Structure 1
Amino acid sequence: MRAGVLILLLLALAALLGPLLLPEPDAMDLAARFAPPSPDHPLGTDELGRDLAARLLQGGRISLAVALATALLATIIGTAIGLVAGYHGGLADAALMRLTDGVMALPLLPLLIVLAAADPAKLGVPADIQGSESFAVARLAAIIACVGWTTVARLVRAATLSVRGRDFVRAAVAMGASPSRIMLRHILPNVASPIVVAATLSVGHIILIESALSFLGLGIRPPLASWGNMLTGAMDAVWSAPQLAVWPGAAIFLTVLGFNLLGDGLQRSLNPRSAST
């Protein structure tokens, strides 16, 4: 877990200090296209003469924002569904789990491509909002979260089934506590460990999905930078300027590795059985 935390801290530090030390990520200099690394451009420049390091950090900020927002939204949806299904059981459990099974059975990437290809203008979103960073992040987070909650829902349901029969839950029922209070005050704190682990592990997976959608031109769209659309821009120059693909790819690899190591460490720390083996 320490290695994962160290990787993520270094990435966060670079994201904070980068804007203070590097040029504007959208500043173009066509006379300096594909320039090699230099004091002014530590990683060189891209096909439009933009500073590659600045673009990389901007892409990291957006990619991480999408991943964290998606993980939070998917965790909230999955936790709510899992709690209701596990606590109430019966028809509610059957209906919600069949819904979960149906979503899990859908082909993930084709479904995301269809959802991402929807034109925001036809949904009534003003043109000036469509190009903003916050809208791009929120749009992509909502799309991925629509199908990304199923794992959390199953984990929370299983944990709720094991907790709802314990004495403290029976005591709360006997005292007349409402189902919502029992789920939020008594069950949820006792099933928080698998939720935290699942949310942490999902961040790396979401980064890969966002990168794939942006690579296909359906995620974060230029001029905003993300690691996925930086790889798209590097396709035509991958042989003449391989650094355009190497650096975004390395950033994706390190970030996913960091979150996976963090999630694995949290799993070992929060699960006494795995810590003892």
Structure 2
Amino acid sequence: MSDEYFLPLRRRGPLARLRANGAAALSLTFLILLLLACFSAPLIGAALGLDATTPDLFSISAPPSAAHPLGTDEIGRDLLLRLLEGGRVSLTVGIAAALSASAIGTLLGLLAGWRGGILDAILMRLADGVISLPLLPLLIVLAAVDPEKAGVPASLVHSESFSLYRIVLIIALVGWTTTARLVRGSVLSLRERDFIEAARAQGLPPSRILFRHLLPNAASPILVAATLTIGNVILFESVLSFLGLGVQPPIPSWGNMLTGAQELIAGAPMLAIWPGLLIFAAVIAFNFLGDGLQEALDPRAGQRRTR
């Protein structure tokens, strides 16, 4: 296609281009509603008079009813509230891990692209080494390590939220490579531009040039990479929790809800179907949103894709 075809598209703002992308706009709407519902779970439970943590052995795997809109789980807890609470945990882990990995990758990418030389070579070979490892087996191995033997205090290890922090830390330590390579490439293409040369001529310190001039111009690929990473992290967290290496009960997540439902799949399939559908929908929505952001922030991406 000719450049004239894309000229009106480039003249529109990023938000307008994102709205024009039907899949991305629909995904963004779905994710906003999902986030609002999950983080409003305590208010929804109070309004319905339900509790997501109290078991009811007289209502095990009950079908949907007026009291329990989606029925109950394997020990009689309300399934709707469990899904919302689990979604709050899974989405929190996904967002926190993606932001942490993006922060590490951005810092290393800035340093590698700006300094170059030996530092650039070391950091990029480190990134290549991490990328070459099979990610899921690596996460499983790291999650299976006993933190007490690694020197973590026992009081912290046995705290209720430690499993959340561990998953975020593990994924952040191995998930920074994509952002680092993207930021490095952007810095390499920008550092010889006239506005950077002008900043150097004015005697600005490197930190100011990096964070006030280079980083804002590299923000688009960082945002796209972080959005796509959230979906992958939700999937990895669900797999680790399903294997018993991720978020530990009594904290619910979509992954450990699947673990609790696997022995009841024949008699109560909805206990597995609902969290599975939410994992699928959230991952697909984040991927569509990431693709939409890429085209909204770089309208020529769509032109390159059609050639």
Alignment TM-score, normalising by the size of structure 1: 0.95
Q: In the TM superposition, what are the counterparts of 1:203-218 in structure 2 within 5 Å?
A: 203-218=230-245
Corresponding residue pairs, total:
276
> In structure 1, the residue corresponding to 2:246 is in which secondary structure?
coil
Task: Between 254-263 and 49-58, report the one with greater CA deviation.
Answer: 254-263
Displacement after TM superposition at 1:55 (Å): 0.8
Displacement after TM superposition at 1:126 (Å): 3.7
Per-residue CA deviation, residues 125-184 of structure 1 (Å, 9 max, x unaligned), is 343663323x33221100111100000011001111110010011111122222222111
Per-residue CA deviation, residues 10-30 of structure 1 (Å, 9 max, x unaligned), is 212322443223322111001
Gap runs ≥5 in structure 2? 1-23
Q: Is 1:189–2:216 an aligned residue pair? A: yes
Q: In structure 2, what is the equivalent of residue 8 of structure 1?
A: 31
Task: Between 15-24 and 50-59, report the one with greater CA deviation.
Answer: 15-24
Displacement after TM superposition at 1:237 (Å): 0.6
> In structure 2, the residue corresponding to 1:36 is in which secondary structure?
coil
Q: CA RMSD in A?
A: 1.5
Letter matched to residue 32 of structure 1? S
Q: In structure 2, what is the equivalent of residue 148 of structure 1?
A: 175
Cα distance in 2 between the residues matched to 1:128 and 1:158: 39
Per-residue CA deviation, residues 162-217 of structure 1 (Å, 9 max, x unaligned), is 10010011111122222222111110011100000110111001100000000100
Letter matched to residue 11 of structure 1? L
Q: Is 1:18–2:41 an aligned residue pair? A: yes
Identity %: 57
Q: Is this contact kept in 1: 2:164–2:246, CA < 8 A? A: no
> In structure 2, the residue corresponding to 1:202 is in which secondary structure?
helix
> In structure 2, the residue corresponding to 1:27 is in which secondary structure?
coil
Q: In structure 1, what is the equivalent of residue 64 of structure 2?
A: 37
Per-residue CA deviation, residues 45-72 of structure 1 (Å, 9 max, x unaligned), is 1111111111111110000110010011
Gap runs ≥5 in structure 1? none
Q: In the TM superposition, what are the counterparts of 1:1-277 in structure 2 within 5 Å?
A: 1-22=24-45, 23-122=50-149, 123-127=151-155, 130-133=158-161, 135-274=162-301
Per-residue CA deviation, residues 105-129 of structure 1 (Å, 9 max, x unaligned), is 1121221112111223333334366
Q: Is this contact kept in 2: 1:87–1:164, CA < 8 A? A: yes
> In structure 2, the residue corresponding to 1:41 is in which secondary structure?
coil
